[in-house]
């Protein structure tokens, strides 16, 4: 059995990784390739997995810890996609607050799994707003230790992929690429927009055919790294909502809008907030990547009596405060209109990273 191509697409929270996974998978399938995806999170009840499954993709999920701290779980997921689902390409999405992927994932893969997994260069997605701030010496609106993680992600990249380019003038993106190339001369700097598709084929061509991966290992202070993750509250919740012929499209839009307003009022920086409302094979998905942007939704659902709602939120505040804000917002919208039953509700702060492997030299 020939080696299966595996692409790691990392990047900080809100960079657009899930949208990219879907767009890339579509293009690969149009070429006749079978694609498998691996999602990752600190807890179960993951919006990304539900959304990508709704879109008809083969998805394996590693939850409970990041890829680097559960490397064996990551390998098991990759093996299952390779051997049972017989995919040609695996695209893996690490946790958005993780870094040091070259030392903890790429080098072990190169040393121990070279014959089974054909490793692509490490791609790090970069939102233009956060990237521009970082290149100017700013903190990208993040706590300084969370911003440290973002910088380390860029430092260890083989490819920096600037995302969400449709929102900006072409000259601005060209200038941003030039600035990034000067700051990170070791990385190939590309740009792409997952919605329009512009630039995706160029990135995929590089990711699929370049043979070099994990060309450098960043120096990472794990005390700063751990605190950078710990400043984030992490919420994964799932509940059922019932209401006679309810308009769930409006409900989801109002929920995201109200959460945005409340986080802004509380001066809480948003990493991302995602939700998916499901009824059978119908769904509404929404996301909020910062408090200053308008929430975006995709999909649609005719009026129906019941949905399964999954919410994932990564916000700079304590887990207790995050839980309180989200619950209060839900309660204010549910009131007497709907009945709600909580199926799962996990709110935490990520623990200190403890990788299974950490190589100190490139293989």
- The pLDDT value given to residue 1: 78
- The pLDDT value given to residue 43: 81
Mean pLDDT across the stretch 144-161? 97
Measured CA to CA, the distance from residue 153 to residue 318 in angstroms comes to 24
Whether residue 354 is contained in a domain is answered as no
Mean pLDDT across the stretch 338-355? 95
Measured on CA atoms in the order 229, 232, 233, 234, is the torsion positive or negative?
negative
Q: pLDDT tens digits for 168-183?
A: 999 999 999 999 999 9
Mean pLDDT across the stretch 29-56? 91
Q: Is the pLDDT of residue 127 over 90?
A: yes
Measured CA to CA, the distance from residue 223 to residue 83 in angstroms comes to 38
Residues 303 and 205 in one domain: no
Measured CA to CA, the distance from residue 209 to residue 120 in angstroms comes to 8
Residues 24 and 163 in one domain: yes
CATH code where residue 305 lies: 3.30.70
Residues 151 and 222 in one domain: yes
Q: pLDDT tens digits for 184-205?
A: 999 999 999 988 999 999 999 9
Q: Is the pLDDT of residue 292 over 90?
A: no
Residue 60, beta-bridge partner list: 38
What DSSP string runs through 9-33?
EEESTTS-HHHHHHHHHHHHHHTT-
* Whole-structure pTM value: 0.94
- The pLDDT value given to residue 195: 87
Q: pLDDT tens digits for 7-28?
A: 999 999 999 998 888 899 999 9
Q: Is the pLDDT of residue 293 over 80?
A: no
Degrees, nearest 5: CA angle 344-348-351:
135
Backbone angles phi, psi at 5, to 5 degrees: -65, 135
- The pLDDT value given to residue 281: 92
Q: Which one of 195, 228, 261 terminates a domain?
A: 228
Q: Is the pLDDT of residue 291 over 80?
A: no
Residues 291 and 217 in one domain: no
| Helices (H), ranges, 3-115 | 17-30, 47-54, 71-79, 101, 107-112
Mean pLDDT across the stretch 154-181? 96
CA 55 to chain centre: 17
Mean pLDDT across the stretch 307-331? 97
Q: Are 62 and 74 in contact (CB under 8 A)?
A: yes
Degrees, nearest 5: CA angle 358-360-363:
95
Bigger pLDDT: 141 or 291? 141
Q: Which one of 204, 228, 252 terminates a domain?
A: 228
Residues 262 and 148 in one domain: no
Residues 275 and 302 in one domain: yes
Mean pLDDT across the stretch 118-126? 97
Domain total of the chain: 2
Measured CA to CA, the distance from residue 184 to residue 186 in angstroms comes to 6
Measured CA to CA, the distance from residue 313 to residue 347 in angstroms comes to 9
- The pLDDT value given to residue 239: 97
Mean pLDDT across the stretch 28-52? 92
Residues 168 and 299 in one domain: no
CATH code where residue 161 lies: 3.40.50.300
Of the listed ranges 73-77, 113-117, 298-302, the least confidently predicted one is 298-302
Confidence of residue 213 (pLDDT cuts 50, 70, 90): very high
Q: Are 338 and 247 in contact (CB under 8 A)?
A: no
Measured CA to CA, the distance from residue 132 to residue 148 in angstroms comes to 15
Query: pLDDT exceeding 90 applies to what percent of the chain?
Result: 88
- CA 305, 310, 316, 318: dihedral to nearest 10 degrees? 90
Measured CA to CA, the distance from residue 115 to residue 81 in angstroms comes to 16
- The pLDDT value given to residue 42: 84
């Amino acid at each position: 059995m020939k080696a299966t191509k595996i692409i790691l697409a990392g990047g900080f929270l809100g960079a657009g990784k899930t949208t990219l996974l879907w767009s890339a998978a579509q293009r690969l399938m149009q070429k006749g390739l079978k694609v498998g995806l691996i999602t990752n999170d600190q807890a179960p009840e993951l919006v990304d997995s539900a959304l990508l499954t709704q879109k008809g993709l083969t998805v394996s999920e590693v939850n409970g810890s990041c890829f680097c701290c559960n490397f064996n779980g990551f390998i098991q997921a990759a093996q299952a996609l390779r051997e049972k689902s017989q995919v040609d390409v695996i695209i893996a999405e690490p946790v958005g607050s993780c870094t040091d992927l070259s030392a903890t994932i790429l080098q072990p893969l190169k040393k121990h799994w070279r014959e089974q997994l054909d490793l692509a260069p490490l791609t790090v997605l970069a939102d233009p707003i956060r990237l521009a701030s970082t290149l100017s010496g700013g903190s990208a609106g993040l706590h300084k230790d969370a911003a440290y993680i973002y910088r380390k992600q860029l430092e260890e990249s083989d490819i920096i992929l600037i995302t969400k380019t449709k929102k900006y003038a072409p000259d601005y993106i060209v200038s941003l690429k030039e600035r990034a190339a000067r700051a990170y001369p070791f990385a190939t700097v590309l740009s792409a927009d997952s919605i329009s598709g512009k630039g995706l084929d160029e990135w995929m061509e590089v990711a699929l055919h370049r043979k070099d991966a994990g060309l450098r290992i960043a120096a990472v202070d794990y005390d700063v790294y751990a605190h950078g993750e710990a400043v984030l509250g992490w919420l994964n919740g799932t509940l059922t909502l019932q209401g006679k012929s309810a308009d769930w499209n409006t409900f989801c839009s109002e929920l995201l809008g109200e959460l945005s307003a409340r986080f802004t009022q509380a001066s809480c920086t948003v990493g991302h907030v995602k939700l998916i409302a499901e009824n059978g094979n119908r769904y509404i998905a929404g996301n909020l990547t910062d408090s200053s942007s308008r929430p975006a939704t995709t999909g649609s659902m005719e009026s129906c009596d019941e949905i399964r709602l999954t919410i994932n939120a990564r916000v700079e505040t304590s887990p207790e405060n995050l839980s309180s804000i989200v619950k209060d917002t839900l309660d204010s919208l549910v009131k007497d209109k709907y009945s709600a039953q909580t199926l799962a509700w996990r709110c935490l702060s990520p623990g200190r990273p403890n990788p299974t492997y950490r190589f100190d030299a490139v293989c």
